[in-house]
Structure 1
Amino acid sequence: AGITKATVSIVFDNSDRSRSPLGYEDCQEITVTRQIVVGGRNKYLINGHLAQPSRVQTLFHSVQLNVNNPHFLIMQGRITKVLNMKPPEILSMLEEAAGTRMYEMKKEAALKTLEKKQTKVDEIDKLLDLEILALEKLRKEKGMYMQWANGNSELDRLRRFCVAYEFVQAEKRRDDAVSEVEQIKVKITELDDNRERLREEISEMERKISTLTAEKEATLGGEIKSLSEKVDALSRDLVKETSVLTNHEESLRTEKKAAQKIVKNIEDAKITIHERESAVQKSEEGAADLKKRVEDLSRSLEEYEKEYQGVVAEKEQLNSKHQEAMTVENELKLKQKDVENVTRALQSVSYEEGQMEALQKERSEYLDLVQKLKDEIRFLSGQFANVHFTYRDPVKNFDRSKVKGVVAKLIKVKDSSTMTALEVAAGGKLFNVVVDTENTGKQLLQGGDLRRRVTIIPLNKIQSHTVPPRVQQAASRLVGEGNAELALSLVGYDEEVKTAMAFVFGSTFVCKSIDAAKEVAFNRDIRTPSVTLEGDIFQPSGLLTGGSRKGGGDLLRQLHELSEAESKLRIHQQRLSEVDDKITPLVPLQKKFMDLKSQLEIKSY
């Protein structure tokens, strides 16, 4: 009831080191243990350490033991059956005996794993395509959002500008109103002064009129008085004569005797009375004429007074119109002067209308191009992480110019048809990092916080084995000029990294055909590794590598596209900065120009 597991062990003598399995040369014995635990679980141990069943099978395969093979042990009496086996069965048994079957099985397992991985890779590619489409959609939406955000910010800025402009215009109108109020006050003061002066003139004219009236009355009054005195005198004479006549009549009644004398006297008196009556009548007619003349003079005086009042009113009206005309003329002159000043100021501004809008449009085009190139660079950069070498400064004030970069980014392929061959010729060296000295490499490895394992090429220590010119000439003579070229001559690079480039590309020929590559690799005088344009490798030792290369040369091609995109990005960024440099000094000029233009429009209106 207390037993929970069963264990069985096999101990192998491992004293013969020449036949020892790989990795167990230092062990005198090899113990293989199998434990069966309650519940049906199995455990395998090799020399007391847990191991997977596949590792145990690999161990047996490495010493030509396959317990799963039915012919692992050939019993007595079955030799005839073994001799009668078919060739494939005999081959399988020989492979088991030779130990190569293990590698075949591993190859099959690896191929199955590759198929599974390839299936997953295909699924990932499909997902990536979907993600890329989604990413493109999101990028477009991001661009639209950025345009919307920029439009909103521009709208807010323009609104603030409009508010500021309205505020400035309101202040200007307030200042103009204050100045106009001051001018009106001055005009009112002048009008008050003119009114006082006109009042004085009116008073003076009234005094003159009263004086003239008095003189007229005095003149006319003297004549009437003299006439009245004459009338009075005639009246007294008339009364006197009447009394005399009465006395004569009484004397006539009393003195009948002197009737004839009295009749004669009466006749004389009547004649005298008639003369006196005619004189009185003439005096009365003269008085009537004088009254009529007085009335005419009075009417003329009233007309003159009315005419004088009209003249005074017209004079006041003319004075007010004259003042208004002078005011309008002065304002017109001031406005014309302001318009001339604004026009001269506008002409003095070194800014042309529409210049800023053209530059803004050009800047927007460059911004779109820069954004597209950045997206393209980001997309290309994400496809090969091994080319990017990121590190932090291992020491304070570290000179980053000592780190030249990854080999793949330090070269420029001269002929795009050789990209596949160059990528195969360089192999993993494309991802090596070039630095100036071994001390820099040591600092990067110790304190650079590297995220992946890297191989560093120090320029002062690396030893390159470039194909000698003699061998290059022999290859050219053998296969023809241009059919076999040194890989180093097909790439461009800076002179300071020449040693590293020679180390990577200096020992391989790039040939245009398989026959040329074969001749170069196996010729006794050359014997140099060669690569065809399709990526097939010929080694002088006889090793051949070739076959399908899915996406061969894509790395250098993408790096070339990335380099061109970065070059275009630098050019467009430089042009964008030039446009920004042009825009910066134009901003105050544009503001000044627009202010002056608005002032000119307002003043012209």
Structure 2
Amino acid sequence: INKEEITPKLEKLREERAAYLEYQRVERELEHMMGLFQAWLYIESKRNCVTAEKALADGQAKVQQIVDNIAQNKKQANQLEAEVEEMTTALQSAGGQKLQLIEVQLKENEKAEAKASAAEKSAKENIAAEEKKKKQLEKNLKDDEAALKSKEQELNKVQGLFQELKDNDAADNEAFAASQRKYEAISVGMEVNDAGETETLQDQLISAKQQAAQANTEIKQATMQLNYLQTQLKEKQKELGSNTSDYQKDMSHLKAMEKEVQTLEKSLNKLNYPEEQMNEFRGRRPVLLNEIRGLQERVERFSNHYYYTSFKYRDPETNFDRRRVHGVVCRLIQVKSPEYSVAIETAAGGKLYNVVVDTEVTAKKLVQRGNLQYRTTFIPLNKIQGGRIDNNTIKVAQDLFGKDNVQPALHLVNYDKHLQAAMEHVLGSVFICKDLDVARQVAFHERINRKCVTLDGDVVDPAGVLSGGARKRETPILIQLNDIKQYEEQLHEKEQELEEIENEIRRMSSIQQQWSNTKQQLELRQHELGLVKQRVQNTAHHQQQEEIENIKKNIGK
């Protein structure tokens, strides 16, 4: 009985006595600090009072000076008004009629201007309407021309087929008629000539002599034509030789320009400037900027509202390695399932917003020279000692109440293994239970005796503390952080894509100017080449050369 009942009560009384003594010490220290705080408030208020009195005196002096300036300005304004009134009276008496005349002219000019403006506006509207009508007519004309061309092509195909069939039919009829005539002539002992007519052998002989005479005549005519063409050829060649030098100069200039155009085309192709890709990048850039701006606003809005979820500091020394600062605990863990978020937040408590660093030296430097914006608690990995629940206790709890009903808090979050000590310090000694009934049984079991937190955030401590009640209506901070991490990842990806696009645009811009200049030179040289070709074709030498070629073709026939 002494071991089972009295000893636990004595230990509990000792703990309560120690807690009471600690409470008295803290209360005395609080009274002392409150006294110091009140004294500081008094001194600060007195100092502010003196400063305010001085500022009041300075303000009253400035007010008096402003009042004096106002009075002086009013006096000057009255004088100016009197002078203006005198000048107005004099001006009205001296130039009243002239002013009326000018006003009449002004009104007439305003009317004329209004009419002109209306006419101009109407003309512009008419021009715009006519331009629109013109564009529509041009579009209709192009459509009609395309349709006409298509129909003409179809008509040509049909006409060609019809003509071919017609020619074949005529040839077949003619061959049939010739065969019929030959058959009839052979039947009566006569012959059929090439024209398909029946004749005797005597008639055929006479016809052959006539054909021979006609052939001799044609030969003589062809010989005369040949002699004439040869004479013309010699004369044209002689005329051609007189202006060959100018033509050769034009042709050499033409070849040089063609060579220059080919060189420019090769240079343009060698630059390999992707114009379509450049336009695509320039279109993508403003879209990315808008997306980045939206993501930045979401992240900044969260960071400003929950400032304690991120750790901002200034480098405490030159070349400070920021990898020594791992970050706030809430950003270093990932809850495996959203249903555990409330329980993990409650189990971690204020430690959820502690900052994990590598050593206590780093923490000291940050406190002294890190320009911290608010009070921060650090967890140095080299010094912290975690209190993890042993595996035997975990097995007992899960065997008694079920693995789905009770789990160690550390098993419900993901984190980097090098942060193990910090995570054990924050969550290592807590069980997460399904409901309050399970939490009570686990917390007060003699073989477990550990702090328990329910999924709703109720806390059961074996020391006798029970806290809970209405849940917060807002979304758990860990769930919000998960969304923010996704936004931050998207933001990082968008910023990387934007940086790549900016680099590509800068790289292409260096080529773009050279490409534009080369393309402009090429278009100019192509235009000049077309003009030179047209000029060469219109020269007398070129026309004579074409005539010589035609004569040679006729001689060849």
TM-score of the superposed pair, with normalisation by structure 1: 0.46
* Structure with greater helix share of residues: 2
Flag the structure with larger Rg: 1
Q: Which has the higher contact order (CA 8 A, sep 6+)?
A: 2
